[in-house]
Amino acid sequence: MIPFHKPYTDEREANALYDTLKSGVLRGDGPASKSVQKLISDITGAKYVYFTTSCTHALEIAILSLNLKPGDEVIMPSFTFVSTANAVLLHGGKPVFCDIHPDTLNIAPDDIRSKISSRTRAIIPVHYAGVSAEMDAICALANEYNLQVIEDAAQGADAYYNNRHLGSIGDMGCLSFHDTKNITCGEGGAFLTNSEEIARKAEVIREKGTNRSAFLRGEVDKYTWIERGSSFIQSDLLAAMLNIQWQKKDEIRRLRKNIWETYHAALEAFELAGYLQRPVIPKQCTSNYHTYFFTVNSPADQDNLLQLFRSHGISASFHYIPLHTSPFGLQINPTPPSLPVTEKISNCLIRLPIYPGLLDEHPDFCTLALHVLSEYYSI
């Protein structure tokens, strides 16, 4: 089988892990953590960066900083991973689901406006497949209604919107370094902000609700429990690995771009014939080529093609079940909103394998994919 994804690691990561083991500092916020936080800050332009145990926990830090009251609402796409909604639910808020654009699969600003109410506190755009949502329009809406913008940039490491790194544009941003992401340490994330006020809240939340960081800076003579928080600090071992991964970002993006563009050129004839729709990267977006996807015309096409890809040794996949129609989503809201684009995309989307070592390991990857499509569509 051609795997769907593989991390891009070598002896550089192994050496970094070994050096950290020898150093004796394995806990979080040690030298390796401080180094990677500075590196991410330099690359993204975010003034404050906190390395976390996951992007999920970075989202929870962002939501906790809002001090939501019961009934407060946070707008997000339904086409996203469960962490986006869970972060809101776990901390007293209500997720309000929006529709997406059919080409980028990112949240539609017009639908955001239609969902804003007197209880809305924040908007969470999710940057799908390493392509930015329409941040100018989203931030303009947030300014108009005095809302916070929390970027779910789980798929957005080394991706940009108008030359600004994803996660650094809104009030807060959250990155993922999970095993499935372009830049990885196995499990991990980062919380980003340019606001000193938000950063001070975040560091307390991340430090289990204590003012330990202020104590270490000499701002208080003892540290103690001052706010809600949890243990969101990641180990220096994984920080050491992440340092190497960020240093390889250009190499990783170059290899992924080559694969993405190979698929894109090969699928053009099928799009022109009306069998499928290829993804779009708007001109203001610089992608990190996290995912190559296309959408077919019916759920039957999706089911049949996924089976056919797998029977030919290609680990193709669907993606999110919309949160508003999921079993738990229906428990929260038994009368879900109508989100026609989201529902169609979920039933018609196919993702193809993409990872930096794909071309070396499987030089015929695109030929095999084309063979499957040609067999199915009889062309």
Which pTM does this prediction carry? 0.96
**Is 6 within the bounds of a domain?**
no
Beta strands 189-193 and 172-176 are antiparallel
Position 338 pLDDT exceeds 90: yes
Regarding whether 161 and 228 lie in a shared domain, the answer is: yes
Last residue of a domain, one of 247, 273, 300: 247
Long-range contacts of 71-74 (CB under 8 A, 24+ apart): 71/119, 72/119, 72/120, 72/121, 73/117, 73/119, 73/120, 73/121, 74/120, 74/121, 74/122, 74/123, 74/124, 74/150
Alpha helices in the chain (DSSP H): 11-23, 31-44, 55-66, 82-90, 109-115, 135-145, 196-206, 212-216, 236-247, 249-266, 268-272, 299-311, 327-332, 340-348, 358-361, 365-377
Q: In whole angstroms, what is the distance from residue 177 CA to residue 296 CA?
A: 30
Each residue's pLDDT tens digit, 42-95: 999 999 999 999 999 999 999 999 999 999 999 999 999 999 999 999 999 999
SS3 361: helix
324 and 335 co-located in one domain? yes
Q: What is the CA radius of gyration of the chain?
A: 21
Domain housing 263: 249-377
What mean pLDDT comes out for the span 285-294? 98
Same domain, 341 and 232: no
Indicate the burial class of 82 (C-beta count within 10 angstroms; 0-12, 13-18, 19 or more): middle
Residues 209 and 131 in one domain: yes
CA distance 218 to 220: 6
For residue 150, tell me if it sits in a domain.
yes
Model pLDDT for residues 321-332, shown as the tens digit of each residue: 999 999 999 999
Q: 282 and 230, same structural domain?
A: no
Strand, helix or coil at 117?
A: coil
C-alpha closest to that of 5 among 292, 267, 261: 292
**217, 247, 277: which is the final residue of a domain?**
247
CATH number at residue 297: 3.90.1150.10
pLDDT band at 233 (very low <50, low <70, confident <90, very high): very high
The CA distance from 350 to 317, in Å, is: 6
In the chain, the percentage of residues whose pLDDT exceeds 70 is: 100
Q: Does position 379 have pLDDT exceeding 90, yes or no?
A: no
Q: Kindly state whether residue 3 falls inside one of the protein's structural domains.
A: no
Task: Specify the 3-state DSSP secondary structure of 303.
Answer: helix
Of 162-171, 211-220, 237-246, 361-370, give the lowest mean pLDDT range.
211-220
Looking at the structure, tell me whether residues 157 and 266 fall in a common domain.
no
Tally of structural domains, the chain: 2
Q: Answer for the pair 114, 134: CB distance below 8 angstroms, yes or no.
A: no
CATH number of the domain where residue 140 is located: 3.40.640.10
Tell me what pLDDT residue 169 has. Answer: 98
Residues 259, 212 within the same domain = no
Kindly report the average pLDDT of the chain as a whole number. 97
Q: What is the pLDDT confidence band of residue 251, given thresholds at 50, 70 and 90?
A: very high
Residue 210 lies in a domain: yes
Q: How confident is the model at residue 177 (pLDDT cuts 50, 70, 90)?
A: very high
Residue 190: inside a domain: yes
What pLDDT is stored for residue 119 in this prediction? 98
**Order of strands across the sheet with 349-352?**
276-277, 292-296, 349-352
Which of 184, 219, 247 is the last residue in one of the domains? 247
- Does residue 100 share a domain with residue 188? yes
261 in any annotated domain: yes
Question: Closest Cα to residue 206, out of 220, 194, 189, 222?
Answer: 189
pLDDT above 90 covers a percentage of the chain that reads: 99
Residue 307 pLDDT > 90 = yes
In this prediction, residues 137-159 reach a mean pLDDT of: 98
Quick one: 34 and 156 in the same domain?
A: yes
Residues 168 and 42 in one domain: yes
347 and 285 within one domain = yes
Interval 12-53: pLDDT, tens: 999 999 999 999 999 999 999 999 999 999 999 999 999 999
Instruction: Indicate the angle between helix axes 249-266 and 365-377, nearest 10 degrees.
Output: 30
Strands 292-296 and 164-165: unpaired
pLDDT digits (tens, 9 = 90+) for 218-232: 999 999 999 999 999
Tell me what pLDDT residue 259 has: 98
Decide if 4 is inside a domain. Answer: no
Residues 138 and 171 in one domain: yes
Domain assignment present for residue 2? The answer is: no
The reported pLDDT for the residue numbered 346 is 98
Which of 79, 235, 249 lies closest to 157, judged by CA?
249
Q: Any idea which residue has 């309000």 for tokens?
A: 96
